[in-house]
Amino acid sequence: MLSLADVSAGYGSFRALFDVSLSVAAGETVGVIGPNGAGKTTLMRVISGLVAAVAGAITLHGRSIKGVPAHRIVAHGIAHVPENRRLFPRLSVEDNLKIGAFIPAARQHFADQLASVYELFPKLSERRSQPAGTLSGGEQQMCAIGRALMSRPKLLLMDEPSAGLAPLVVQQVFELIRRIRGQGLTVLIVEQNVQQVLDVVDRAYVLEAGRIRLAGTASELRNNDFIRRSYMGL
């Protein structure tokens, strides 16, 4: 479904990604793990068009989406849950979800999609008219995921959904990811929480210093010595 071949990208003269290649098949849940500053967020931003790739190819269903600006990417069926959630804090929860359905194709299904997001996150329904900035961290993450789902995406990009959340809430977020993948959505998730993310993904890539260092299925990586030593502290 999504494929990156030798993608390089950065900000100005700073290069954050070097010849990154990865692929995600339809229906798969794929993880990208790595330390802080490895380029994980840049990788997500390159896919959704917020950062331009300087080299390489990015294709979705075999068609190039390289150079497509961010505001057109969502119409291709890609929704991005950004790092730190980035809700519109002074808009109500429901207005945040409404913005998620901004593209014409999503507007038609607004009512149905809103109902299904509220079904997935009953808490959001309770707080629908509250400013999003007043939600708890976990609720904000749910709102950010809900906002992305409102565009009815085929591929969901999640950038560190567990960051900054209490351990119990982290559990809920991963439980949620399990439910979302159960609905047939393709998910690409970036995480530092290696142990937990390997429990919800089919495959994962290890990104270090802007390069793919290792790739494999979740169980391969869980038993890999390097991963156990560097990321699980075992």
Partner 1 sequence: MDIFLLEAVINGLLLAGVLALLALGLNLIFGVIDVVWIAYADLVMCGMYAVYWLFAEYGWPLPLAFAAAIVGVAALGLLVHLLIIAPILTSAPINQLLATGGLLYFLQSFATLLFGTDFRNIGIRLPIIEIGGIYVSYARLLAFGVALMGAIALYLFLKRSYVGTAIRAIAQDREIVGLMGVDQRRIYLVTSAIGGALAGLGACLLALQYDVHPFIGNTFGPLIFMICVLGGLGNMIGGFIAAFIISQIIAIGGYYYSTELSYVLAFMLFIVLMFIRPQGIVSR
**Which residues here bind partner 1, judged by CB under 8 A?**
48-50, 69-75, 79-80, 82, 86, 88-91, 95-96, 98-103, 106-107, 147, 151
Name 2's bridge partners: 24, 60
Report in angstroms how near the CB of residue 140 gets to partner 1 at its nearest: 13
Residue 205: name the closest of 24, 16, 6 by CA.
24
Closest CB to partner 1 among 77 and 137? 77
d(CA 5, CA 20): 6
**Pair of tokens at residue 114:** 């809103």
With beta carbons less than 8 A apart as the criterion, state whether 70 and 102 touch: no
The CA distance from 6 to 151, in Å, is 29
Residue identified by tokens 């390089």 is 8
| Closer Cβ to partner 1, 7 or 106, answer by number | 106
In angstroms, what is the minimal distance from the CB of 101 to partner 1? 8
Q: Closest approach of Cβ 222 to partner 1, in Å?
A: 32
Q: Which is nearer to partner 1, 148 or 206 (CB)?
A: 148
Closest separation between CB of residue 12 and partner 1, Å? Answer: 14
Nearer to partner 1, 127 or 147 (CB): 147
Minimum distance, C-beta of residue 233 to partner 1, in the bound complex (Å): 34
Phi-psi region of 167 (alpha: psi -120 to 50; beta: other; left: phi over 0): alpha
Least distance between partner 1 and beta carbon 159 (Å): 11
Gap between the Cα atoms of 1 and 49, Å rounded = 17
Measured CA to CA in angstroms, residue 184 lies from 29, 130, 177 at distances of 10, 31, 11
Q: What is the secondary structure of 115-145 as a DSSP string?
A: HHHHHH-HHHHHTTTSBGGGS-HHHHHHHHH
Nearest CB to partner 1, comparing residues 103 and 215: 103
Residue 99 or 169: the one with the smaller Cβ distance to partner 1 is 99
